[in-house]
Structure 1
Amino acid sequence: MNIDMQLKNTLTLEAEQGPFISLLISFNEIPDNLAFDKLLNKVKARFIEKYNENFWNKYSKKLKRFNYSREKNVSNNMGIAIYVSCDSMHIFSLNHQTKTSAVIASTMYIMPLIKDITDEYYYNLLVIKNNDFKMYNVNNQSQTLLKVPNAPAFAFTNNQKDFFKLIDECVIEKLNHDDTLPLVVVGNEDDCKLYAEQSKYSNLVSDIYVNYQNNPDIDSITKYVNEKLYQKFINNLKFNYNKAKNKSKVLTDIEEITSAAISGYIDTLMINESEKSDKQVNNLAITTIGFGGDVYLIDENDMPNNKKIIAISRI
């Protein structure tokens, strides 16, 4: 389950009894269970200062059952977010670097998860190079090389066009016709265009051209592709913003956005990263997601018209 869907499901927490403890943990800063326990002692002191020790026991029981070291050792991510209510505990992996902190409030602090949703990259990758190809599944910066039985070879085809047809048949068979994930095709411009002409894969991304001198290995290729996908995402957001603005569906006043969020009228909420610590903005994100809207945390330089917060209305 991707983090976006997991968060939408988890926000039923808002029906549970608070307050909520939001723990944001960097694996680099908290190396083991001992360090995790020290962090919990600090959280406990802050919690009982606001509430009382008897109330803390309901939270402590859940946290003590959590094996932090095991979670850290099996994870390919950079950290975790732990949300504890009076009734339950929910855990999210974080794919970006975060600073270890704790927030105790009446609602969850979800901005780190919004950051992950905005920057999440999950796709299949087809790399075409020197009349050969390889396939990978990419999860952010991690790649898994996919084995392709009976892979076609260029030597057994008459031309590049026929070779790409065979590759496409092989790709579709390997992915078992599951086109829910994008298939990103990278290569030189001529190869990408020719492949796109032959491909029958319905969720194809074939316009990312790679200079292999600058990107000689899979790690550098993945980083380059992720940057290109992020820019495509930003361009799409700006296109939707301009389209909505022409239809008078853009809101930038915080009070108007709040009213629209409570009524369930927000389709997309864009938040300037400089506003990520604002409690009101955090609660707007929760409300928007609760009504099925999309929320993104955008780099300051990428926000349309340098706004602090932008909502696109459904009506």
Structure 2
Amino acid sequence: MSMINEKEFKELANYKNDTCVSIFIPTQRGGKEVLEQKNLKHLHSLWTEASKKLSAKGFEKSKLDTMSKKFEELLDDKDFWRHQSDGLAVFAAPDYFKTFSLPVNFEAYTYISEEFYVKPLIPAMNGDGKFHILSLQISDVQLYEASKYSITPIDIDDLTPSELEERVGYDYKEKALQFRTQGAGGEKTQFHGHGGSERDEKDEIKQFFRAVDQGLQNYLNKEKLPLIVYCQDYLFSIYKEANTYNHLVDEVVDGNPNDSDLLGVHEKSLKIAEKFLNKDRDSKLEKYKEQSQTENTSSAPSDIMAAIHQGRIDTLFVENRAEIWGTYDEDQMKTEIDDEQTSENSSLMNLAAKKTIEMGGNVYLIQDYLMPEKESKMNALFRF
């Protein structure tokens, strides 16, 4: 299973080939649909349809066979299909094949062109709503950077546990906190050691958590992102006493992190993070509305396309589940818009989104009712 990062997104956005196939399907994480192989059958159906289109267009048989073999290998990978998120994206060309499982409900969609269709992946790249997740246990500490559509482990081996053991002053794994869990279902862990009193045990835990806090302080303060903690509730109350980081989220993901895989950690943390994820987007929307009668905004696709290539776009809003087909001549800075997709045009919204990100701008994929100027499928806030 693979979630996407910035490097992989740029690789997809910059990839060119005579034939690139992008397929998106909604997927289920478990239940009857997985047992009945609904996800697998859905992808098989869309690829069968796409391969027929390619064959009808005279696509070279040897290259088509190469691509089909990759799809067959994926369809036969039972372990892959047992571990899905909410959406699957597949990007295929004769010499390229990658898949990404993401916690987003894609609409089923197939795009065949000389480029990959990365528009549905845009939310993972716009930087909006980034946050950290601290997976906290007595014997283990893990840190992740996450957004609505991604989660990435952060290497903190130089901060914990080795450095923390030195700060605490003893080997907490073997000496300080001998523990056992009573019963099943994640009941409160009982601690025994150094006097055995509840007060001493809490002080030892707090000392350890204070070392965690101090060990992560420099890293967390580089970006000052919200920090969500995933641990048992009673441990979180102790961590809050030890914490000095100003952006700690006051609500905990209650449970044992060992009970969740990477996507589970992300999913549970996202339920808390969603309350602040859209802060930057909403701020940009408000700024657009304030300046909508000035030259600092535009809802005209031709003006927006030229401004994007000039590096003038601060923020681009593109309507989700909408499309603009056409061509853009960069030399002439001329946009031609067509009524439908043809073999001669491509998605202008896909081009606009990836080019804006390449030029350092922000892109938000939003519902039609949130668009500042709803008569257009693209709205742009200019830098100058």
The TM-score normalised by the length of structure 2 is 0.57
Q: After TM superposition, list the pairs within 5 Å mapping 1:47-126 onto structure 2.
A: 47-49=54-56, 51-54=57-60, 56-66=61-71, 67-68=73-74, 69-70=76-77, 72-73=80-81, 75-117=83-125, 123-125=132-134
Give the residue type in structure 1 aligned to 2:317.
Answer: M
Distance 2:124 2:62 in 1: 31
Larger gyration radius, structure 1 or structure 2 = 2
Query: Which sections of structure 2, spanning at least 5 residues, go unmatched?
Result: 154-159, 162-171, 178-190, 192-197, 326-346
Secondary structure (helix, strand or coil) at the match of 1:281 reads helix
The match for 2:273 is: 229
Distance 1:176 1:76 in 2: 34
Q: How many residues align?
A: 296
Give the residue type in structure 2 aligned to 1:288.
Answer: T
Q: After TM superposition, list the pairs within 5 Å mapping 1:288-299 onto structure 2.
A: 288-299=356-367
Counterparts in 2 of 1:281 and 1:102: CA distance versus 1, 3 Å: same
Distance 1:31 1:256 in 2: 43
Q: After TM superposition, list the pairs within 5 Å mapping 1:142-291 onto structure 2.
A: 150=173, 155-156=199-200, 166-171=208-213, 173=215, 178-179=219-220, 182=225, 183-185=227-229, 195=240, 198-200=243-245, 205-209=247-251, 225-243=269-287, 249-275=296-322, 279-291=347-359
Q: Is the 8 A contact 2:228 2:251 kept in 1?
A: no
Q: Is the 8 A contact 1:250 1:312 kept in 2?
A: yes
Distance 1:115 1:27 in 2: 18
Distance 1:261 1:53 in 2: 33
Secondary structure (helix, strand or coil) at the match of 1:124 reads strand
C-alpha distance after superposition, 1:68-93 (max 9, x if no partner) = 14372474423421222354333322
Distance 2:65 2:307 in 1: 37
Counterparts in 2 of 1:17 and 1:93: CA distance versus 1, 3 Å: same
Distance 2:271 2:42 in 1: 34
Q: Is the 8 A contact 2:230 2:255 kept in 1?
A: no
Distance 1:221 1:53 in 2: 43
Q: How far off is 1:184 after superposition?
A: 1.7
Secondary structure (helix, strand or coil) at the match of 1:205 reads coil
RMSD, matched Cα: 4.9
The match for 1:310 is: 379
Secondary structure (helix, strand or coil) at the match of 1:19 reads strand
Q: How far off is 1:228 after superposition?
A: 4.7
Greater mean alpha carbon deviation, residues 255-264 or residues 22-31: 22-31
Q: How far off is 1:64 after superposition?
A: 0.9
The TM-score normalised by the length of structure 1 is 0.67
Q: Is the 8 A contact 2:313 2:361 kept in 1?
A: yes
